[in-house]
């Protein structure tokens, strides 16, 4: 090949390498754009979940004071129904007598 042929070949090889590099950059940009779109979709989903959780929290926060008041009311009712002896001790007002003569031995027949 002549000098001009080699020069053209080198020029074409150089151009091919440039185009390959540009193609690689283009593929990288395309991939990054896909990641970006995917991330934006994920962000939207997470934002919706956060909004739902905020709404659920508001509902729970609205019910909490009512539940606390109801719990306090129940405690007061239970306390008012206990006798003084139960309040002083741990549970029983009186201990039942022992079960005596529950298991008597058979009596002998005296006849």
For the chain, what are the domain ranges? 3-82
At 83, the pLDDT band (50, 70, 90 cuts) reads low
Give the phi and the psi of residue 103 in degrees, each rounded to 5: -125, 75
Cα angle, residue 55 at apex, residues 49 and 59 outer, rounded to 5°: 140
Maximum mean pLDDT: which of 57-61, 91-95, 107-111: 57-61
Find the largest Cα–Cα distance for the chain.
Answer: 148
The percentage of the chain sitting over the pLDDT mark of 90, rounded to a whole number, equals 55
Model confidence at 2, pLDDT cuts 50, 70, 90, reads confident
How high is the pLDDT of residue 105?
A: 62
């Amino acid at each position: 090949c002549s000098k001009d042929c080699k020069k053209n070949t080198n020029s074409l090889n150089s151009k091919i390498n440039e185009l390959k590099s540009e193609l690689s950059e283009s593929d990288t940009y395309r991939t990054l754009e896909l990641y970006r779109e995917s991330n934006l979709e994920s962000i939207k989903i997470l934002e919706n979940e956060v909004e739902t959780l905020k709404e659920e929290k508001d509902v729970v926060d609205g019910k909490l004071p009512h539940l606390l008041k109801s719990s306090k009311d129940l405690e007061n009712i239970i306390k008012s129904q206990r006798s003084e002896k139960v309040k002083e001790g741990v549970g029983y007002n009186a201990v039942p007598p022992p079960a005596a003569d529950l298991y008597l031995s058979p009596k002998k027949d005296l006849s």
